[in-house]
Structure 1
Amino acid sequence: MPTETNWAGNLTYRAAAVHHPATVAEVHDLVARLPRVRALGTRHSFSAVADRPGGDLISLDAVPPEITVDPAAMTVSVTGGTRYGELAVALHSEGFALHNTGSLPHISVAGATATGTHGSGDANGILSTAVVALEVVRADGTSETVGRGDPALAAMAVGLGMFGVITRMVLEIQPTYQVRQDVYVGAPWDGVLEAFDEIMAGAYSVSLMGDLGAPVLAQIWQKTRVGDEPPAPAPRSLHGGRWYDDADVPAGIGLNPRAGLVGPWSERLPHFRLDAPPSVGGDELQTEYFVARRHAVDAVRALRAMGERISPHLHAAEIRTVAADDLWLSPAYRRDSVSIGFTWRKHPEQVHALIGDIEAALAGFAPRPHWGKLHRLSNTDLVERFPRLRDALDLARSRDPAGKFAPDVLTGLRGVSRGRARPAA
């Protein structure tokens, strides 16, 4: 078959074939007859989380999006391969919204939630916290719906694809809302870290972006929910940073801030536009770690101490806040968190070495990786950092004893059970 790669081209899939069924019925048939299979999303993961060496991959990109709003229940039912940008436009047009979005509207609903994708905001959980139910195709090709009344949903909402192929999801929604995005440039890092809690609590969603080795931040993005009354004018400075509007956009990494403009949540919460390539168009590598919110400032200072080594290989770093949740494999499981993300230049050898050193610098803060991004943590580290990982593996094994959906990234953990480890089968 032709060589298949992820979006960034840093990963060549080792699966034997990629299938593109046009209907959910075809998904059922494929899963029933293929011995080793995984679901493949929009290929925006930098890790091998979706790969299936020697097996097959199933992409839902040819299944037409189906979006059905239930105003009484305040939920939306959506096919798993639907992109978040498509869902957001449809919801807003009917007067509804999601609690948050990720940076990229290009990613699929099932793929993004399965890997723990998130936005920002002190009170905002990862995207998977909106999952009310999911419809999954099991190893024998039959389907089941797992909802909030089933304890398994806490494992399956961030399930890394190891519970089957998710063909449909039900998500919580709310009335649509407007957002104003204000952007500040040039704030000194030291002052921002001293006022970290104040800045991050200053809007519904806040992101800090820039070079960890520079004396000043490139940008602070504050996204404020707007009510019925006109919002108060944004301050023209923020802890040494200067406010700017769309006519005064500094050089960056292709972000589209729509600064100072009020607009629909669907256009303001994502960092990028659905009709344009996001970030630096895939010419990049990405890493991201979650640490407990109480360690945020110390963790960032530890990384800034490495700034001279990080800067030559970095497009930009982004710092966001995420509310705690009870989803077993969520990087924010039971702790309010700060995520520290790196968009690297495509310098594989140097970045690989830096990732190891970054993990060593953050070790005292027990960092948890984003499942869809690059990391070098060992199996032992993962078991320690994700307290319910053993439980999730046990549940997946009970539902899929032959390991049809087993994720390659956890191959060394397939034999792990509660309390002790066994060699992988």
Structure 2
Amino acid sequence: MIDQSGRVPSARRTNWAGNIAFGARHLHTPASVAELQDIVAAGTAVRALGTGHSFNTVADTSGDLVSVAGLPRSIEIDRETATATVGAGLRFGELTGTLHRSGFALHNLGSLPHISVAGACATGTHGSGVGNRSLAGAVRALELVTADGGLVTLERGDDDFAGAVVSLGALGVVTRLTLDLVPAFDVQQWVYEGLPREELLGRFDEVVSEAYSVSLFTSWRDDPVDQVWLKRRVAADGPLVAPRRWLGATLANGPRHPVPGMPAGHCTQQQGDAGPWHARLPHFRLEFTPSNGEELQSEYFVARRDAVAAYEALERIRGSIAPLLQICEIRTVAADDLWLSPAQGGDAVAFHFTWVPDTAAVTPVLGEIEEALAPFGARPHWGKVFTTEPGRLRELYHHYADFEALMTRFDPAGTFRNDFLARHFPRAGGGQAG
């Protein structure tokens, strides 16, 4: 688990939530890229581990688990190209302050700053905003150690780049990433409560376009949306004063946490107090355990044009969802061209479920959700729990076969192949699974 300081132990044996116990024979924390190259070259079953913020076996192996937390924690800012080249093991919360002090920002951040840059990009993790791509959308180049221990750099525009950014650790161990930067900016954050259902569904595009980043939180127990988090960029003419009422919702009279019963002090500053982008775009503060901590998570992406119909489909099964749910968050993600990104090819809306930590009870509900969202081609988040079959994934991802071929070419012996990859990409070459 994440300790009270918000740090993740580098030599961990479980994932963040504790629902997965890693089966690795050895856990390595190399201190240099050269040491990592030796480990990979000598291994037959190797997987990379970031901060462990996954809820399935995507990072598991029966062989050598390699934590990137010990790799050089470098941050190299290039002002001329407006990029930063960073060590893969850095957490976003360890990177963003340096960028801000240099006058730069990332285009967006996820809901928690505790996750590693490489791990978040490899699984298609995202923030929110109709104009904001996933975190992987900022990647301009990446360096990785391949199965033979060699070091390869891929840049945007290279033939393999679009398949290598969101790659689930299947092509190698990422050591550094080069990220696009934008000028630093300030953000104001407000929370509104009780958004009426008819306002949400009748004016969905208006609601999610109200701010730079918008998050909707619902327990699926009542018709109104419990909370709407609006994160607005501060304009040149200064901060705004939020109206007390907005589309029938009421401005919260104090700070809020999205999960009922959790301390609001764990969350980033609200009530319109302007502050740096990195201290407002995440929901949670680095020094505290994010969300609840005792939980499972699932997430499904549908085309933004289908958001209202998908919402109504989930409403019809809320009797199954609500008893096991801590909270559901709804966010928008702009389209990208990365092969395994859930937003590849079109603007998306993501329905994120934070569950009670009961796998046996949650799993059948996932089947109901996947059935309800099937007409909308719902793609699951690669790092969360889901039951979508491989054949269905092949239909949902236009570059699925291309990625299988890329895996075979980069890793013909299956050094990075594990049970998760063997199940979800069964036709890819490589004999190892473990």
Distance 2:409 2:144 in 1: 15
Q: What's the CA shift for 1:390? A: 1.1
2:278 aligned partner, one-letter code = S
How far 1:407 sits from its partner (Å)? 4.1
Does residue 275 of the first structure (1) align with residue 283 of the second (2)?
no
Matched, 1:19 2:60: no
With structure 1 as the length reference, what TM-score do the two structures score? 0.94
Does the C-alpha gap of structure 1 residues 207 and 246 become closer, same or farther in structure 2, counting only changes over 3 Å? Answer: same
Alpha-carbon deviation of 1:415?
A: 4.7
> 2:326 aligned with 1:302, yes or no?
no
Between the aligned partners of 1:193 and 1:167, the Cα distance in structure 2 is: 43
Is 2:157 the partner of 1:163?
no
Q: Among 273, 285, 302, which residue is 1:261 paired with?
A: 273
Q: For 1:296-317, what per-residue CA distance to the aligned partner results, in whole angstroms no more than 9, with x for missing partners? A: 0110111111112211111100
| 1:43-94 Cα shifts (integer Å, max 9, x gaps) | 0100111112x21110011224110100001000000000011111110111
- Indicate how the Cα distance of structure 1 residues 254 and 292 shifts in structure 2: closer, same or farther if over 3 A, else same: farther
Work out whether 1:73 is the aligned partner of 2:81: yes
Q: Does the 8 A contact of 1:49 with 1:160 survive in 2?
A: yes
Task: Give the corresponding residue for 2:336.
Answer: 325
Q: Give the secondary structure class of the aligned counterpart of 1:411.
A: helix
Q: Say if 2:108 is the partner of 1:100.
A: yes
User: 2:40 is matched by which residue type in structure 1?
Assistant: V
SS at match of 1:134: strand
AA partner of residue 184 (structure 2): T
Residue 377 (structure 1) aligned to one of 388, 408, 416: 388
Q: Which amino acid aligns with 2:291?
A: S
Aligned residue number for residue 400 of structure 2:
389
User: 1:3 & 1:327 partners in 2: Cα distance?
Assistant: 30
Change (3 A) 1:248 1:359: closer
User: For the residues of structure 2 that align with 1:76 and 1:253, how far apart are their CA atoms?
Assistant: 35
Residue 213 of structure 1 and its aligned partner are, at CA, apart by: 2.6
- Unpaired runs of 5+ residues, structure 2, are 1-10
Provide Cα deviations, 1:378-413, integer angstroms capped at 9, x if missing partner.
010111111111101101111111011124322035
Q: CA separation of 1:248/1:269 partners in 2, compared to 1, >3 Å: closer, same or farther? A: closer
Matched-pair contact (CA < 8 Å) for 1:415–1:424: no
Query: In 1, distance between residues paired with 2:316 and 2:198?
Result: 12
Does the 8 A contact of 1:114 with 1:160 survive in 2? yes
Structure 1 residues 340 and 413, CA, compared in 2 at 3 Å: closer, same or farther?
Answer: closer
- Label 1:3 to 1:173 Cα distance change in 2 as closer, same or farther (>3 A): closer
C-alpha distance in 1 between matches for 2:114 and 2:172: 22
Report the count of equivalent residues.
419
* Contact 1:253–1:315 (8 Å) recurs in 2: no
Q: By how many angstroms is 1:120 displaced? A: 0.4
Name the counterpart of 2:207: 199
After superposition, the C-alpha distances for 1:139-182 in whole angstroms (9 at most, x for unaligned) are 11110111113121100110100110000000000110000111
**Residues 65, 422 of structure 1: alpha-carbon distance in 2 compared, 3 angstrom cutoff:** closer
Matches of residues 29-178 of structure 1 in structure 2 within 5 Å? 29-52=38-61, 54-178=62-186
Tell me the SS of whatever aligns to 2:251: strand
Q: Which amino acid aligns with 1:382?
A: L
Q: Distance in 2 between matches of 1:253 and 1:292?
A: 32
Deviates most, 62-71 or 290-299? 62-71
Q: CA RMSD in A?
A: 2.0
Number of the residue aligned with 1:334: 345
- Contact 1:65–1:81 (CA under 8 A) maintained in structure 2: yes
Q: Which runs of 5+ in 1 are unaligned?
A: none
Read off the aligned partner of 2:298 and give its amino acid letter.
T
Quote the offset at 1:422 in angstroms. Answer: 12
CA offsets 1:322-362 (integer angstroms, 9 cap, x no match)? 11111000000101100000000112221111001110111
Q: Which region of structure 1 is more displaced relative to structure 2, 88-97 or 399-408?
A: 399-408
CA gap of 1:212–1:359, structure 2 versus 1, over 3 A, is same
2:225 counterpart residue number: 217
1:12 counterpart letter in structure 2: A
List per-residue Cα deviations over 1:4-42 (Å, max 9, x = no partner): 211111111122221111222211111111111011110
> Is 1:246–1:257's contact at 8 Å kept on the other side of the alignment?
no
Distance 1:156 1:191 in 2: 40
Q: Shift of residue 104 of structure 1? A: 1.2
Q: Answer whether contact 1:180 1:225 (CA < 8 A) is retained.
A: yes
- Give the AA of the match of 1:271: H
Comparing 247-256 with 184-193, greater Cα deviation is found at: 247-256
The CA deviation at 1:247 is 5.5
Q: Deviation above 3 Å: which 4+ runs of structure 1?
A: 245-255, 412-415, 421-425
> Are residues 1:243 and 2:254 paired?
no
Specify whether residues 70 and 158 from structure 1 end up closer, same or farther in structure 2 by C-alpha distance, changes over 3 A only.
same
Amino acid at match of 1:336: D
Q: Which amino acid aligns with 1:48?
A: T
Alignment partner of 1:186: what SS? strand
Specify the code of the residue in structure 1 equivalent to 2:376.
F
Q: Identity of counterpart residues, as a percentage?
A: 48
